[in-house]
Amino acid sequence: MAGIATIHARVATMLPVFDAISPESVGAIHRRSEDLRRSDMTKLASALARKTPLCKGMTRRRAADLIFVLTGPRSYQSFVLLAGWPPRDWVRWVTATLRHDLFGD
């Protein structure tokens, strides 16, 4: 997660720019990047589920959704840039939340 936080420290500050250009053809680059990230999180959820059973009621699709949203740049932006959390606190929270929600206690 620390590596993701390092990337988001640069990307999250650019989200307003990406939102502004979204309708433009240049915005397609950002949309494609998010599509690829979604695909990678789906693969990650499947790989995790093969190694450790997901908690009761947790599907691979739901796990992929949680990973995609919680580890995304908008989550980082909301907590670190807007709410003022230190990046290390965001990393701890995302890690603990995913561990609990995906695998239980």
Q: Identify whether the C-beta of residue 73 lies closer than 8 Å to the C-beta of residue 15.
A: yes
pLDDT tens digit at each of 105 positions of the chain: 667 777 667 677 777 766 676 666 666 777 788 899 999 999 999 999 999 999 999 999 999 999 999 999 889 889 998 999 999 999 999 999 999 999 998
Please give the Cα distance from 16 to 29 (Å, whole number). Answer: 15
Please give the Cα distance from 68 to 44 (Å, whole number). Answer: 10
